[in-house]
Amino acid sequence: MQILELLPAVDVQAGQAVQLVQGVAGSEKTFGDPLAAARRWADAGSRWIHLVDLDAAFGRGSNAALLAEIIAQLDLQVELSGGIRDDASLERALATGCRRVNIGTAALERPEWCEEILAEFGDRIAIGLDVRGQRLAARGWTTEGGPWHETVERLSAAGCERFVVTDVEADGMLTGPNFDLLGEVARLSGRKVVASGGIASLDHLHQLRDLVDDGVEGAIVGTALYVGRFTIDEALAVAEGDR
């Protein structure tokens, strides 16, 4: 049986681990030291974390030094996201030693640049699709982009190997993933998809694992872990087919 890659989320704002509701600034719940959170997931056996600089994503600051320190101290693979929009920010992100970076807003605002970096860095680049309805959301989800399928078609043709798909309306709501959206992106692109947003139960993880053969490679889990809907051990057991 193929496994679902689990990526516990560590979202960092003002040096603290937080979780937002639908990406709205001011809706956050604070969960303390982000390094301690990342260590907890690593110690439980997670092979990945999804590490996000929310201040950089919203364009109001940076936690770059702290995120680099977290990556340096952990022996696991990191998907790094938040505010990576140009050569300088990409170079800083890749220099941390993360396994891959997740490009969000720039996929909307600078598609030609995205094509260039996909050609240069291959699968170290993932494209983040933050979707509200049928359209993309940008700049920390505060502005609207174009239809998501146009970006998927263009960047798939440019060689993108992986899309990180977030249903903005589900994120932090614990209402379940948008399975239809995930399936649509996988079918249209023919590429791997990492699910993000809304995962609230072990049943949701079971359903996502059942979609691995359809292209859903992984799942980013945040709020449900932090508020105790299930444990990291339980989540890993489901993702790896042990239950």
Catalytic residue set? 11, 130
CB 145 within 8 A of CB 168: no
- CB-count exposure of residue 115 (10 Å: 0-12, 13-18, 19+): middle
Backbone angles phi, psi at 160, to 5 degrees: -60, 130
- CB-count exposure of residue 185 (10 Å: 0-12, 13-18, 19+): buried
SS3 131: strand
DSSP conformation letters of 57-117: HTTS---HHHHHHHHHH--SEEEEESS--SHHHHHHHHHTT-SEEEE-HHHHH-HHHHHHH
Cα–Cα nearest to 163, from 141, 138, 184, 142: 184
C-alpha span between 136 and 108 (Å, rounded): 8
The Cα angle at residue 235 between residues 130 and 36, in degrees rounded to 5: 80
